[in-house]
Amino acid sequence: MIVMNENYLQLQASYLFSDIAKRVTAFQDNNPDRDVIRLGIGDVTRALPAACIAALHAAVDEMAEDASFRGYGPELGYDFLRQAVAEHDFQARGIDIAADEVFISDGAKCDSGNFQELFAPDTRIAVPDPVYPVYVDTNVMAGRSTGWQDGRYQGLVYLESTQANNYIPAPPKDKVDAIYLCFPNNPTGSMVTKDQLRPWVDYAREHQALILYDAAYVEFIRDASLPQSIYELEGAKEVAVEFRSFSKTAGFTGTRCAYTIVPRQCQVYDSQGTAHPLHGLWDRRQSTKFNGVSYPVQRAAEAVYSPDGKRQVRELSDYYMANAALIRQTMSGLGYACVGGEHAPYVWIKANTDSWQFFDLLLNKAGVVCTPGAGFGKCGEGYARISAFNSRQNVETALERVGAALSSA
């Protein structure tokens, strides 16, 4: 008899996006002449930068000739891309990360989900609330929860991000071993300062814990004094891995390329307390289970760092950030407390009603789709996320309609 991994039975079905789809379909059926504008998605909408497309085409042509054809590539990424990442994203900012500490992959989702395989089953995990669900579900699948109760997985420590702490949680009183942090944050759009990040690095050093730092939205930071990488904090290299992605920064959500930094100094411990380099474990895991990202896609990612690529990527994020500013301005003007939208493509809105009531209000009165905050965790109840990933025209039209609907509501 093939027995299942029963941890999967603990997983709560997420009805968030199917519930949204159902309500939108019902609205559309009842109002066939109204066009619905979707500001709920966490996916980019604009084309890849021209520099990436040119590199992609050239690399595809190389695959057409025996002399330049490439088969299996190095599992951890081609040197040209590992070098480019280390140089442009780290060394150019004074952060000493070497090319062999860069692990190229096909997604920060996969990496942030897979990384927990390297930890013992009884590792105590801390996750943000509200949260990017991948951190939670992958740990539940691995058996780190004893069950679902009162809207939370027992056994996980939830780091509450609320108005009271400005959506930046402080280290917990409980002792935890692995900590997921995401800045700029999805879904709240909040961004941490170095001073707010420092206690986390200190906590990890003191408790021999590990920080899993998700910096998928780093390209949207608009203040150079804010940390672009956790490694800007002294002592972080021993206690943190960092996830980055070309998805949101350069429009690669459908093309797939990301990377994870595992510094050589970063340690894990066996049950006797003996230290082992985490670098070797992740290297072994990736080499065994992963085949690498396709050659043309890695060439396209490399082009992000060319002078044209840099300009085009900045132009892309500027476009979305102008949308975000409009969203935040309008919603604040309507009297809603907002965070985010300043260093992230999301605005987190205090709904003053429950999440789904606010969702229904925007949909039915304005024909605009947002994401109910409750879908991201207990602390998301009473909030909604509005995404800046759409065309300027759509954002402007949506906000006009929202303004009209909410001022008459």
Closest to 154 (Cα-Cα) out of 7, 372, 355: 7
Q: Identify the residue among 40, 49, 77, 107 touching ligand PLP (CB under 6 A).
A: 107
User: In angstroms, rounded to a whole number, what is the distance separating the alpha carbons of residues 200 and 181?
Assistant: 9
Q: Identify the residue among 248, 279, 299, 328 touching ligand PLP (CB under 6 A).
A: 248
Residue 317 is inside which H or E element, if any? helix 307-333
Minimum CB distance to ligand PLP, residue 42 (Å)? 6
Query: How many other CB atoms are found less than 10 A from the CB of residue 266?
Result: 22
Minimum CB distance to ligand PLP, residue 43 (Å)? 8
Q: Which is nearer to ligand PLP, 75 or 402 (CB)?
A: 75
Q: Which amino acid is at 55?
A: A
Residue 399 is inside which H or E element, if any? helix 392-407
Q: Which is nearer to ligand PLP, 186 or 312 (CB)?
A: 186
Describe the crossing of helices 295-302 and 50-63 by its angle, rounded to 10 degrees: 150
Structure tokens at 47: 């084309």
Q: Does 89 bind ligand PLP (CB under 6 A)?
A: no
Q: Does 216 bind ligand PLP (CB under 6 A)?
A: yes
Q: Identify the residue among 109, 144, 152, 237 touching ligand PLP (CB under 6 A).
A: 109
Minimum CB distance to ligand PLP, residue 163 (Å)? 21
Stretch that binds ligand PLP, among 164-172, 240-248, 277-285, 329-337 (CB under 6 A): 240-248
Q: Does 317 bind ligand PLP (CB under 6 A)?
A: no
Minimum CB distance to ligand PLP, residue 175 (Å)? 25
- Contact between 37 and 397 under an 8 Å Cβ cutoff? The reply is yes
User: In angstroms, rounded to a whole number, what is the distance separating the alpha carbons of residues 322 and 253?
Assistant: 21
- Grouping H, G, I as helix, E, B as strand and the rest as coil, residue 406 is helix
Q: Kind of pairing, strands 368-369 and 37-38? A: parallel
Q: Does 258 bind ligand PLP (CB under 6 A)?
A: yes
Minimum CB distance to ligand PLP, residue 156 (Å)? 17
Structure tokens at 180: 């997921």
Q: Identify the residue among 139, 186, 249, 255 touching ligand PLP (CB under 6 A).
A: 186
Position of tokens 């941890």? Answer: 7
Q: Identify the residue among 108, 125, 178, 301 touching ligand PLP (CB under 6 A).
A: 108
Q: Which is nearer to ligand PLP, 128 or 382 (CB)?
A: 128
Q: Identify the residue among 177, 214, 219, 242 touching ligand PLP (CB under 6 A).
A: 214
Closest to 179 (Cα-Cα) out of 112, 244, 234: 112
Number of residues that bind ligand PLP (CB under 6 A): 14
**What share of residues in the chain are helix, strand, coil (percent, to 5)?**
45, 15, 40
User: In angstroms, rounded to a whole number, what is the distance separating the alpha carbons of residues 310 and 330?
Assistant: 30
Q: Does 245 bind ligand PLP (CB under 6 A)?
A: yes
- Contact between 259 and 253 under an 8 Å Cβ cutoff? The reply is no
Q: Identify the residue among 78, 103, 115, 132 touching ligand PLP (CB under 6 A).
A: 132
Chain residues 40-79 in contact with ligand PLP, contact rule CB under 6 A? 42
Q: Contact positions toward ligand PLP, by CB under 6 A?
A: 42, 107-109, 132, 182, 186, 214, 216, 245, 247-248, 253, 258
